[in-house]
Amino acid sequence: MTLVYACISPHGDEIVPKLAGKLSPLFSPTTRGMLKLAAQMAVAAPDTIVVATPHNLRISSHIAVVTSENSTGTVVHGSRKVAIASRCDQELAKRLVEEAGKKGIPVVGVNYGTDSGSLSDVPMDFGTLIPLSFFIRRKQPRRSKKEQRVVIIAPSRGIPLANNFQFGRVVADVSEASGKRVAFVASADQAHAHRRNGPYGYSREAAAYDHRVVEAISENRLRSIMDFDPEFVAAAKPDSLWQMTMLAGLLDRIPLKPELFSYQVPTYYGMACAGYTR
């Protein structure tokens, strides 16, 4: 057993109390949900956390897999900030690129600076950093003898959803063959068109999209999100569909049990916290 945990995690800055400041009570249901996910992650004790994020490199018509040795980033709100510097699991990342390529999935490995060493450092986006601020462990658990590392994946919206689903299956297979304890995080905020005064305006499809996602999670049929009509998705304006489709592919290979911990719409976008365990 090496794929030890998976989850759907929001990434709005305000779910981190240190960043939210006075807005913290507004986001407290999701923050409590994140703490429950963090507790499950701690029990799972992964050696590597694979994060699928919508906010890292966007490669035209290709899934991007970060193959750098390091990833560092900072999220700043006024005088408040959260920073993370993490080592990447280059071995696992390169294997994902290799195996996905063999299956004809459009994927590319991406690095920055140098091939290896301290200058091999792809910037960590907030879609990765915010979840990891809850999930990166501070102390080494006894069950793991390896330094905890991360793999960052950027799904593509320019390819068929089926390709992202197939890539999730590859994540499951490569994780199981790795001999490492691996966790998968679908970093995902839901529909972004819940408020007329929001940056994306209002669409009635936003509430409908979130409702169908919450049902799909709760009823353990996440794969059904692949049947959403493209026009319906475009109107709801989520940034979750593609990462959750990867998770659905993973679940197709390794069935895990879902538990929805929270869902709320504190501002213009929805957020759901859901953990998947053996």
Amino acid (1-letter code) at residue 33: G
Tokens of 51: 């994060």
Predicted local confidence at residue 77, as pLDDT: 86
Q: Over 90: is that where the pLDDT of 139 sits? A: no
What are the pLDDT digits (tens) for 219-274? 999 999 999 999 999 999 999 999 999 999 999 999 999 999 999 999 999 999 99
Q: What is the CA radius of gyration of the chain?
A: 17
CA dist list (Å): 140 to 89, 131, 193, 198, 237: 17, 19, 41, 42, 39
Total residue length of the chain: 278
Predicted local confidence at residue 235, as pLDDT: 98
**Band (143; pLDDT cuts 50, 70, 90):** low
What are the pLDDT digits (tens) for 38-82? 999 999 999 999 999 999 999 999 999 999 999 999 999 888 999
**Band (162; pLDDT cuts 50, 70, 90):** very high
Q: Over 90: is that where the pLDDT of 142 sits? A: no
What are the pLDDT digits (tens) for 209-232? 999 999 999 999 999 999 999 999
Q: What is the pTM of this model?
A: 0.97
- Ordered structural domains, the chain, with CATH: 3-277 (3.40.830.10)
Spatial neighbors of 49 by CB under 8 A, at least 6 apart, are 41, 132, 135, 136, 148, 149, 150, 151, 182, 183, 184, 185
Predicted local confidence at residue 137, as pLDDT: 76
Cite the DSSP H helix spans in 137-263.
161-178, 204-218, 230-236, 241-253
Q: How many CB atoms lie within 10 A of CB 199?
A: 10
CA pair distance 155, 213, nearest whole angstrom: 18
